[in-house]
Chain A
Amino acid sequence: MRHTISVLVENKFGVLSRVSGLFSGRGFNIESLSVGETIDPDVSLMTIVTIGDDQIVEQITKQLNKLIDVIKVVDYMDVDHVERELVLIKAAPKKNDKTEFLKLTEIFRGKIIDSGATSFTVEITGDEKKIAAFIELIKPFGIKEFVRTGKVAIAREGLKKAKQ
């Protein structure tokens, strides 16, 4: 089962390695990880996506909570939330495919943020499903480069229900 876990941490050096060490030390993989400052510059938020059965993820979240620099952990599995990821794709559609490619980009509300002699760079944002669907559709056009930010998530109103 895929879990999205957000971890509120003290913004100090070494914290990322404490958190990632917790995963690697137990042989668990991190699928994606994104880190950024919060409104309070002393605090950072990490959003981590990992795969594991419920018992493993329960153990991970407890272990995360135990780290001294961790302030709060939320497993979004039990929380009503929205998720987004941003992907940049450099694609090189053939001449006669260009119109089709641009149309698809538009349907998915992607943005062309750069274009060169042979390629376009598309920016697309969305949840897991949308991004996966878009990638499937444009694969045949030829993807030259591909980069994603990792998922971020936020609870819908009423996070108080969240299980800690």
Chain B
Amino acid sequence: MRKSGAEILIECLKKEGVKHIFGYPGGVVLNIFDALYDEKGLELFLTRHEQGAIHAADGYARASGKVGVALVTSGPGATNTVTGIATASMDSIPMVVFSGQVPTMLIGNDAFQEADIVGMTRPCTKHNYLVKDVKDLAQTIREAFHIASTGRPGPVLIDLPKDVTTGMTEFKWPEKVNIRSYSPTYQGNKYMIKQAAQMILKSKKPVIMAGGGVILSEASKELTELAEMTKIPVTNTLMGLGSFPGSADLSLGMLGMHGTFYANTAVQNADLLIGIGVRFDDRVTGKTDTFARNAKIIQIDIDPTSIRKNVPVDLPVVGDIKHVLKDLLKVLKDEKEQWGAIRKSWLNQVDAWKKERPLTYNFDKKIIKPEFVVEKIHKVTKGDAIICTEVGQNQMWAAQFYKYDKPRHWLSSGGLGTMGYGFPAAIGAQIACPNKVVFDIAGDGSIQMNIQELATAVINKLPVKVAILNNRFLGMVRQWQELFFKERYSHTGLDVTPDFVKVAEAYGAVGLRATTPDEVEPVLRESLKIKDRPVFMDFEVDWKSKVFPMVPAGAAIDEMIFDEEVKEKSKKKLKAVK
């Protein structure tokens, strides 16, 4: 049957199993939006900014495991997506973005609303396309979904000139995709896996470091089985939170710049570090030549470019984590080792570190501590909510004080660190998972970067809960200024912060406020009762609170600094242990 490019686009999306897309209209995509008008099987959510659309598609993808899809117009619509695409790219999130483009004959002429979005997004997409002929459209879309969702996932952009979407052609859905230059390695090398098993058997003080790759590969079950069977403690990178149950005995929590004392200490004392789906980001390793200085390193990853990029690796295994861990488990099971006995002293040591310096903060009866709010969110949601975050202190406290027991429940911009990510991502997550409680833990700075999406949440009756840890500062930057710039708070005070309760109400959402610690839990419980619209909760928190432990930039990860007061207290404990 002959169809227009716009109709082919919609047909292809349905064939790919897409139900929800996020977007914003404009001149050159009018005909696509027109084709969507009567469409029943495909719902478009109109955000209030294209950046919001991309983050929503990203949150949708992270929460559901499906490919996130967005549709925007040319020029400014397309350029507004760049931050969102770069965010998805850094965190390997499967996404397909369609941008309108001026007609092919005008490309390169500085036509109205023309931008070379393919050129601009080349370094922040896994791949991108400019479709020049409507005959290539179906094949291109098929390839884009394949590339976005396989191997190391990532965003793919398809630029659609107006004459391509209005042009007519015979529609044929390509059943197969075959890209000769693209074939990710799924099975790990058997010899390498045997070697890895030998290294695990020989090691006395192993640590597993699990990252976002475990979640992308849906390998949490295998990871948990491996750790539980071989009795190896697990630390997570920021991106890996939830890939291993945070409340398990073997969990060390997060490592790195704001990692736990015991995670960082264990890594620095380990004789074997098993990196699974991690890329050894500098926020994790600190000074690289001191990182895991006593350990041999095994790295398992589907992307060969991640291996040995930042740290030397003794044994690389390239492959899909789920496949590799299954094979590794098989080899290890045959060994019938008495794991409990051989790990006893190492696990005792790790437990002693946990007791020596647990994650703490100074509770106060009068002033709300931000960590306290996060703990209460964990309590009222029974640890079962999808938690999105903005960037800054809010993100780190959310990572430290909420225990993530399941994958796809922690959505945070790890690689790019994009303020403004959390709220639209929460909207996407809520659409993907209508029965889940979805929170955005936010700072008063970040929430103002995409606050317009309140309208999107209100109109779609999405009960997203936004907990603003309002310290009236760009807190994380202020923390660095306090510690490293002699308390010279250059442009970090947000002197005029809007009344968030009123902002929420103005949009037709609910606004709540807590100014004392006793009000925190009631406000949270109140928010859980609201099922038909978003809630903004303004928590007036201690502006002086800082994120600890902290590894100063460029230091080794066991050179952590702690809050002075916390330190005084734990000194006593420290003596008790030693």
Contact = CB atoms under 8 A, between A and B. Distances in A.
B303 A70 contact: no
Given A17-B122, A18-B122, A68-B147, 5 more contacts: A10-B181, A59-B305, A59-B308, A66-B304, A71-B181
B179 interface: yes
B127 interface: yes
Contacts of A70: 181
A58 interface: yes
A25, A63, A68: which has the most chain B beta carbons within 10 Å? A68
Contact of B119 (A10, A17, A59, A63): A17
Contacts of A66: 303-305
B308 A25 contact: no
Nearest to A58: B308
Nearest to A55: B308
A14 interface: yes
Interface string A109-132: 000000000000000000000000
A72 B304 CA distance: 15
B305 A62 contact: yes
Interface string A60-98: 001101101111000000000000000000000000000
B119 A68 contact: no
Contacts of B30: none
Contacts of B179: 68
Contacts of A58: 308
Contacts, number: 34
A68 B182 contact: yes
B127 A62 contact: no
B136 to A, nearest CB: 11
Contacts of B118: 14
A63 B305 contact: yes
Contacts of B126: 68
17 contacts: A9-B181, A10-B181, A14-B130, A17-B119, A21-B122, A25-B123, A55-B308, A58-B308, A59-B305, A62-B304, A62-B305, A65-B304, A66-B305, A68-B126, A68-B147, A68-B182, A71-B181
Contact of B123 (A13, A21, A59, A68): A21
Contacts of A62: 304-305
Interface in B120-153: 122-123, 126-127, 130, 147
B309 interface: yes
B40 interface: no
Interface residues of A, number: 19
B180 interface: yes
Listed from nearest, the 9 A-B pairs whose CB atoms lie closest are A68-B127, A71-B181, A62-B305, A62-B304, A68-B182, A25-B123, A63-B305, A66-B305, A21-B122
Contacts of A68: 126-127, 147, 179, 181-182
Interface of B: 118-119, 122-123, 126-127, 130, 147, 179-182, 303-305, 308-309
A44 B511 CA distance: 60
Nearest to B152: A66
Contacts of B308: 55, 58-59
Contacts of B147: 68
Interface of A: 9-10, 13-14, 17-18, 21, 25, 55, 58-59, 62-63, 65-66, 68-71
A55 B309 CA distance: 8
A58 B307 CA distance: 11
A62 B307 CA distance: 10
Contacts of A9: 181
Contacts of A55: 308
A15 to B, nearest CB: 10
Contacts of A10: 181
A45 to B, nearest CB: 14
B488 to A, nearest CB: 32
Nearest to A68: B127
A96 B127 CA distance: 60
A5 B460 CA distance: 54
A163 B218 CA distance: 32
A25 B122 CA distance: 11
A71 B305 contact: no
B180 A71 contact: yes
Nearest to B305: A62
A53 to B, nearest CB: 13
A65 B307 CA distance: 14
Contacts of B127: 68
Nearest to A62: B305
A60 to B, nearest CB: 10
A17 B127 CA distance: 13
A63 B306 CA distance: 10
Nearest to B132: A13
A9 B180 CA distance: 11
A95 B224 CA distance: 84
Contacts of A59: 305, 308-309
Contacts of A14: 118, 122, 130
A73 B75 CA distance: 35
A135 B379 CA distance: 77
A65 to B, nearest CB: 7
Contacts of B130: 13-14
